Structure 1
């Protein structure tokens, strides 16, 4: 039986769209049944709506306790939660309700360049400024601390001496689009084994 996935996203939504398309192309039961954001009028909603996935905004006040989010996830029978560019702290109530069933992707090789405030282009700029020779992505379970959950997988790409943050971002995004849906699919297959 297929598993239902909710995506939490705060911005443009390219990763969310990629994940939704991946599972829709696979067909069958389950897949992405809901997109939730802590921000209104974000592109991820347009992308999800174009793919016929319901989208719901949860205000900061309602997000903090997690109660309304938990009810929403129960209404959609969500089995697994995927963060894709989600820029809010996940409430403890969700962590307890979905142990080892909430994952995040980070645009660096953690533990390097992680922590509060380290996301998106800030990470790529820090990688370039540090003179790193490689970067990549980390897919991890989340816990109560930013970017400190158990690592599930890491995938690497080179960083060349003359690279800009934008050059690194292009390579990292390619890794995200290729690997994140596949890792999600593998983790879903392992549920209830």
Structure 2
């Protein structure tokens, strides 16, 4: 049984899609959700059982615990986590955690990296930048995580057109469709190679 830990800071739609994808799996368990945001919508989603009544325990942590101790790393190791999946998690992963889980932390970014990546480039900020630059396409990048924002090895990309009349909200919708379609499947592919 492969065990996944989800990290999320926001509403949790990607986390829910991943939990739903593996809900009936005999080989994969979405073991827990970790969040730094006590007001994150993902907490309610996890506690009510995501979409297929798959209850996922929640661990809330603060910045000091995350960056100034190895308690999160030790906890994940004690839980025998095979893969860490970032699903809208906004903090940079600490070097100790990255080194404890080499090529076992994946993230999704709402643009075609290396464009529109790095610190401060997340969510609506990315879509606003894409529209402002007059890009003809955007998309998603799923990548391994290292100690730098959005610089890990790319695993998968998918694109969508950006029309001249598109607003950042239009781009966000198109990108979210790609996220929900591809992220669970790519996570499954990564797990199959572990």
Shorter-chain TM-score bucket reads over 0.9
2:108 to 105, 110, 113: 105
Q: Deviations over 1:44-84 (max 9, x none)?
A: 11111122100010111000035110122123211100001
The unaligned stretches of length 5 or more in structure 1 are: none
Q: What is the CA-CA distance between 1:41 and the residue it aligns to?
A: 2.5
Are 1:17 and 2:16 an aligned pair?
yes
Are 1:148 and 2:154 an aligned pair?
no
Number of the residue aligned with 1:8: 7
Are 1:86 and 2:79 an aligned pair?
no
Query: CA RMSD of the aligned region, Å?
Result: 1.0
Number of the residue aligned with 1:46: 44
SS in 2 for 1:53: coil
Are 1:122 and 2:114 an aligned pair?
no
SS in 2 for 1:36: strand
Q: Normalising by structure 2, report the TM-score.
A: 0.95
Q: Which stretches of structure 1, 4 residues or longer, exceed 4 Å deviation after superposition?
A: none
Length, aligned pairs only:
189
State the distance in 1 between where 2:42 and 2:34 align.
9
Q: Normalising by structure 1, report the TM-score.
A: 0.95
State the distance in 1 between where 2:27 and 2:185 align.
17
Q: What is the CA-CA distance between 1:30 and the residue it aligns to?
A: 2.7
SS in 1 for 2:47: helix
Are 1:134 and 2:133 an aligned pair?
no
SS in 1 for 2:23: helix
Number of the residue aligned with 1:30: 28
